[in-house]
C-alpha cells in the first residue's frame, strides 16, 4: 500500500500527495489523496483520477 503519490498539485505546485483514506468499492479500490501544503485533494478509483474525468 503506497502512502505517497508523486504528482504536481494544480493549486500550489507541490510534488507529493499523501493518502488520506481508502476503501474497496464495487468498481475497485477508492483512494483519497491530499496535498500537505494546501487543501487540494482528489480521488482515484482503481487507479483512475477523478480530476482526469
Q: Mean pLDDT over all residues of the chain?
A: 89
Q: What is the DSSP letter of 18?
A: E
Kindly state the average pLDDT of the residues 4-32. 93
- pTM here? 0.82
Percentages (nearest 5) of helix, strand, coil residues in the chain? 5, 50, 45
Find where cell 507529493 sits: 16
pLDDT of residue 23: 94
Amino acid at each position: 500500500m503506497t502512502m505517497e503519490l508523486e504528482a504536481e498539485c494544480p493549486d500550489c505546485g507541490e510534488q507529493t500527495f499523501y493518502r488520506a483514506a481508502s476503501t474497496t468499492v464495487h468498481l475497485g479500490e477508492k483512494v483519497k489523496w491530499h496535498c500537505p501544503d494546501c487543501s487540494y485533494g482528489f480521488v482515484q478509483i482503481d487507479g483512475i483520477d477523478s480530476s482526469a474525468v
